[in-house]
């Protein structure tokens, strides 16, 4: 009843608020991270948020990069199926100066249906520390679920780029999701080790491709 009286803009802000609350509750709690693996310079950790049967993951690695190239890669929505683990397809919905909204379909093993989400990336850059955080929130009001695909009720996370000196960054990718439907936790949770590992491994390779290294964003300015 409340939602029917909201304008589109208000409903959009409402869903972004819900995403922020979900993200904050996940990352703000005191549940300790458990080490899962260290492979090719990528450490993976998981933890079990209270009240959820699905685990949250965190992948950490160090990369020599420019923040401009990182933003260029992360906003190149059409290429995400080539490097984001389990991503089947993407569609750009909206792109602004430091914000991108896109639709993504995640492949799920047969006989279960694929999942989808509408993700909103918001980039926050601190010029003093040269650190950057990218919040991944939900914006489900913009686009209905695809036919034959299950909309994920929770899909929130963040990328963190911690400046270590010169152009070296500690990159952290954290994510919390609930695939919805009848997917069992025993099937989903093992994938939560592979996903950050494969995604960060591919990110490390692609972020220094020429088309991304030549990118420049005015809102970032000089990052060296």
CATH classification of the domain holding 137: 3.30.530.20
Q: Look at the chain and report how many structural domains it folds into.
A: 1
Instruction: Please give the residue range of the domain that contains residue 193.
Output: 7-213
- Closest Cα to residue 113, out of 179, 177, 195? 179
Flag whether 42 is in a domain: yes
The residues that bridge with 95 in the sheet, in sequence order, are 100
| pLDDT of 99 | 94
For strand 150-151 and strand 115-126, is the pairing parallel, antiparallel, or unpaired? Answer: parallel
HSE at residue 60, side-chain half, CA atoms within 13 A, is 12
Is position 18 within any domain?
yes
The answer to the question of residue 219 being in a domain is: no
Residue 222, domain member (yes or no): no
Residue ranges in the chain whose pLDDT is less than 50: 1-28
- Segment 132-164, tens digit of pLDDT: 999 999 998 889 888 999 999 999 999 999 999
Residue 158 located in a structural domain? yes
38 within domain boundaries: yes
pLDDT of residue 222: 73
Task: For residue 40, give Cα distances in angstroms to 59, 73, 87, 169, 193.
Answer: 12, 21, 22, 16, 14
pLDDT of residue 79: 97
CA distance 75 to 117: 16
For 176-209, how does the pLDDT look when each residue is reduced to its tens digit (9 = 90+)?
Answer: 989 888 778 787 777 778 999 999 999 999 999 9
Question: Distance of CA 119 to CAs 8, 31, 51, 58, 136, Å?
Answer: 17, 25, 23, 18, 6
Examine residue 69 and state whether it is found in any structural domain, yes or no: yes
Residue 206 inside a domain? The answer is yes
């Amino acid at each position: 009843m409340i939602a029917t009286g909201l304008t589109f803009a208000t409903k959009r802000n409402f869903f972004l608020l819900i995403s922020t609350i979900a993200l904050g509750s996940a990352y703000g709690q005191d549940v300790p991270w458990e080490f899962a693996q260290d492979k090719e310079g990528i450490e993976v950790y998981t933890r079990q948020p209270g009240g959820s049967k699905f685990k949250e993951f965190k992948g950490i690695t160090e990369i020599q990069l420019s923040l401009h190239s990182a933003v260029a890669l992360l906003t190149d929505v059409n290429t995400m199926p080539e490097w984001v683990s389990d991503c089947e397809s993407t569609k750009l919905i909206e792109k602004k100066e430091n914000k991108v909204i896109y639709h993504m379909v995640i492949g799920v093993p047969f006989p279960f249906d694929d999942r989808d989400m509408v993700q909103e990336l918001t980039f926050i850059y601190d010029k003093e520390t040269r650190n950057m955080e990218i919040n991944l929130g939900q914006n489900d009001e913009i686009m209905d679920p695809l036919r034959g695909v299950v909309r994920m009720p929770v899909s929130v996370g963040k990328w963190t780029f911690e400046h270590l000196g010169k152009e070296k960054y500690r990159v952290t990718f954290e994510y919390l999701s609930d695939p919805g439907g009848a997917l069992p936790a025993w099937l989903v949770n093992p994938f939560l080790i592979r996903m950050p590992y494969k995604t960060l491994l591919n990110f490390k390779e692609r972020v220094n491709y020429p088309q991304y290294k030549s990118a420049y964003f005015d809102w970032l300015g000089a990052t060296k």
